[in-house]
Amino acid sequence: MARRSGSLHLKAIPKGERTYYHLATSFRDGPHVRTRYLHHFGALTPQQAEGLRHWLGQWTALGPGRVPSLATSPRDALEFEENLPSFRHGIVALGHAAVGRIGLRSALNDAFGRVPERGLRLKLVEAMVLNRLEDPSSKLRLAEEWYGRTSLPHLLDLAVSSFDEDDLYETMDLLDARRDRIEALVYERVVRPLEGGGSGGVLMKDISSTYFEGQGVRSTLEAKGYSRDRLRGSLQVNWSLVLTPKGYPVTLEIYSGNTKDETTVVGTVERLERVFGLKEGTFVGDRGMLTETNLKLLHAAGFHYVVAETLWNEKEVLAEAAKKTRTPMSPVRVAGKGRQSRLEVGSSPEVGEELREESWCEVVGKDGRRHIVVYSEVKRQDEFESLEERLAAGRAIETWARAGVKRGEWTEANHHELVKSVTKQLVKEGADLLYEVEWDQDSVGGLNLLVNRERKEWEEAKAGWWMLTTDTELSGPEVVEVYKSLAVVERAFRTIKGPIQVRPVGHQLDRRIRSHLYVCVLAYLVERWIQLKVREGGEPGWARLTGEQALEEVREGRLQQVGIQGTEIRRWKVAGFTRVAELLLEKLGVKAEAMRVPTGLL
């Protein structure tokens, strides 16, 4: 029997304390009256429901010729992103919510004071920060392509036509000019509350480098130096971070590319007191940075220290430790092979990891300094295996060289080239200190690799050991745990250089280089909060989730327009979030905000 259509209406379905609404139509199918649901609007407030009823009244007024056929499926009756506007929403919505949730937007607002067009500048800073999280790009591409393809014009209430590339550069200059004030407020209002408060505390400093790209007027910061990016001979800028134990950034410092690590500590101590008012705490670092002079400087400034010691410089202390009875530490995790001196704080064991014990003892050196000496059997086995692999690599190189001599490729006339080649291969294998290269045309094979017995015996003696020096009164295990937290700095460098893409630097002016680096640090601050917040409470499967992975989970979220085919009726909706993404947003406490259509589009 033929179906006869009825009118479109808004169907209300109460569920618990909320009421959900559907776009529905009633029709008669023989003796029965049935309801077809065309679209689900979700939970609505009474005001929103009344607005939708008014919307339907306008549509009905278009006349029966504009009503879709009941034979059309509900999905076909709705238009989606392929033919209506659709914007990338997931990551920028989460980032926008996070900037507000952690208090970063408020801190930036107050730091900008009475600057002209403060509202515009604040929105542009946020746009640059979120760009590093969603799709890092140049300022030109940000302004002309990326921004308009996201939901940020609606989230920030800032139209695409409201700014251009020059506005972004002017905002970067303002950011650099006010960075001391910004860092101080971000530390006080964002970092300290997230870290758990306290004055001073543990601070970790390390230094890295980033290379340049492009031509033009050279910056005073560009220079050739030791490259952490392993790009020898490239122009670079050096920069350091001081972080809290949880990995939140306190301050960024920028230096010319040839600056030596140890020369940066004086400025850091001065900056911590001048900008942040920090006159006490415990400084954590490696011996390359915290030299004897710098340790005295820290002590004079009121800071304590925990420093990784170079065993070669403390042979007597190591010999004394080998004679002493050691105390077992709390179990530490082990993943097959690998030195265990840099475990990230707060990480959970991977599946299949075992628990092994390290042991420690305390030795006071002749100079009165306190050393915490740690021994690990796992580390010893690993280092013995490494030693044997490097010795075997040397024997293989020797065999290769002698074969060439036998074939006549190497003679007295060109033996210097052979020695140079062999030395280069030894360096590549990490075996250059274990062998001495000798050329003797009268010997068998012409070239000999002689094992450096002193070096080999030293590596066997130190296998399994590592050492810290401290002037704190912490127990041995506490000193070790404080030092292991230095791993968060390495993790920060990996994140900023990886998904946030700080490199290569395309700017040439000093102030733009500094502000580019700081925008990346602010993006890392947001990413770090997301990671630690998701990991809170030990959710199954989320204990090792990184901030980058969390952002990728929500990437497919879209802000899109839908409507009824054959009509001018349109509405906006947030779609594309998977169930996992929704759970993640709920865990972060931003689900309602991230999945809500911006007010200006309702």
**Number of Cβ within a 10 Å radius of residue 384:** 14
**Number of Cβ within a 10 Å radius of residue 302:** 13
Residues 477, 480: Cα–Cα separation, whole Å: 5
**Statement to judge: residues 94 and 196 lie in one domain:** no
Contact of 543 with 348, CB cutoff 8 Å: yes
The total domain count for the chain is 4
**Statement to judge: residues 26 and 82 lie in one domain:** yes
Question: Is 56 or 392 the better-scoring residue by pLDDT?
Answer: 392
pLDDT of res. 75: 42
Residues 417, 422: Cα–Cα separation, whole Å: 9
**Statement to judge: residues 34 and 121 lie in one domain:** no
**Statement to judge: residues 111 and 77 lie in one domain:** no
pLDDT of res. 131: 98
pLDDT of res. 65: 38
Confidence band for 398, pLDDT divided at 50, 70 and 90: very high
Q: Is the dihedral of CA 398, 403, 409, 410 positive or negative?
A: positive
**Statement to judge: residues 10 and 77 lie in one domain:** yes
Helices (H), ranges, 112-156: 118-134, 139-141, 152-155
pLDDT of res. 394: 96
Residues 592, 387: Cα–Cα separation, whole Å: 56
Query: Whose CA is closest to 84, among 564, 596, 602, 593?
Result: 564
Q: What is the DSSP-derived secondary structure letter of residue 74?
A: T
Distance of CA 396 to the CA centre of its chain: 41
* Mean pLDDT value across the chain: 85
Residues sharing a CB contact under 8 Å with residue 403, sequence separation 6 or more, in sequence order: none
CATH code: domain of residue 236: 3.90.350.10
**Statement to judge: residues 162 and 29 lie in one domain:** no
Residue 30 pLDDT exceeds 90: no
Residues sharing a CB contact under 8 Å with residue 322, sequence separation 6 or more, in sequence order: none
Q: Choose one of 429, 462, 495: the last residue of a domain.
A: 462
Q: Which residue has tokens 């209506």?
A: 84
**Statement to judge: residues 140 and 243 lie in one domain:** no
**Statement to judge: residues 250 and 339 lie in one domain:** yes
Residues 97, 289: Cα–Cα separation, whole Å: 38
Confidence band for 544, pLDDT divided at 50, 70 and 90: confident
Task: Report the pLDDT averaged over residues 363-370.
Answer: 89
Query: Whose CA is closest to 473, among 555, 372, 564?
Result: 372
pLDDT of res. 538: 66
pLDDT digits (tens, 9 = 90+) for 439-495: 987 776 788 999 999 999 999 999 999 999 999 999 999 999 899 888 899 999 999
**Statement to judge: residues 442 and 297 lie in one domain:** no
**Number of Cβ within a 10 Å radius of residue 159:** 11
Which tokens belong to 106?
Answer: 């408020």
pLDDT of res. 81: 46
pLDDT of res. 147: 97
Contact of 39 with 55, CB cutoff 8 Å: no
Task: Report the pLDDT averaged over residues 336-363.
Answer: 50
Residues 34, 358: Cα–Cα separation, whole Å: 72
**Statement to judge: residues 415 and 543 lie in one domain:** no
Segment (H or E) for 493: helix 487-497
Name the pairing type of β-strands 249-256 and 303-309: unpaired
pLDDT of res. 62: 44
Task: Report the pLDDT averaged over residues 34-47.
Answer: 77
Name the pairing type of β-strands 281-286 and 303-309: parallel
pLDDT digits (tens, 9 = 90+) for 185-210: 999 999 999 998 654 588 999 999 88
If DSSP codes are grouped into helix, strand and coil, which group holds residue 588?
Answer: helix
Q: Exposed/middle/buried for 287, CB within 10 Å: 0-12, 13-18, 19+? A: middle
Task: Report the pLDDT averaged over residues 156-174.
Answer: 96
Query: Whose CA is closest to 513, among 249, 253, 196?
Result: 253
Contact of 2 with 21, CB cutoff 8 Å: no
Residues 288, 577: Cα–Cα separation, whole Å: 47
Question: Is 188 or 222 the better-scoring residue by pLDDT?
Answer: 188
Residues 383, 387: Cα–Cα separation, whole Å: 6
Residues 171, 519: Cα–Cα separation, whole Å: 11
Question: What residues make up the domain containing 453?
Answer: 379-462
pLDDT digits (tens, 9 = 90+) for 558-579: 999 887 665 666 788 898 999 9
pLDDT of res. 540: 72
* Distance linking the first and last C-alpha atoms of the chain: 41
Residue 41 pLDDT exceeds 90: no
Ramachandran class of 30: left when φ > 0, alpha when ψ lies in -120 to 50, beta otherwise: left
DSSP result, 330-355: --EEE-SSS--S-PPTTPPPPTT-EE
Residue 411 CA: distances (Å) to CA of 417, 422, 442: 10, 14, 11
Residues 369, 313: Cα–Cα separation, whole Å: 13
**Statement to judge: residues 390 and 304 lie in one domain:** no
Residue 5 pLDDT exceeds 50: no
Query: Whose CA is closest to 195, among 230, 158, 136, 245?
Result: 245
**Statement to judge: residues 345 and 202 lie in one domain:** yes
pLDDT digits (tens, 9 = 90+) for 56-102: 665 554 444 343 433 334 444 455 445 788 999 999 999 999 999 99
Residues 455, 459: Cα–Cα separation, whole Å: 6
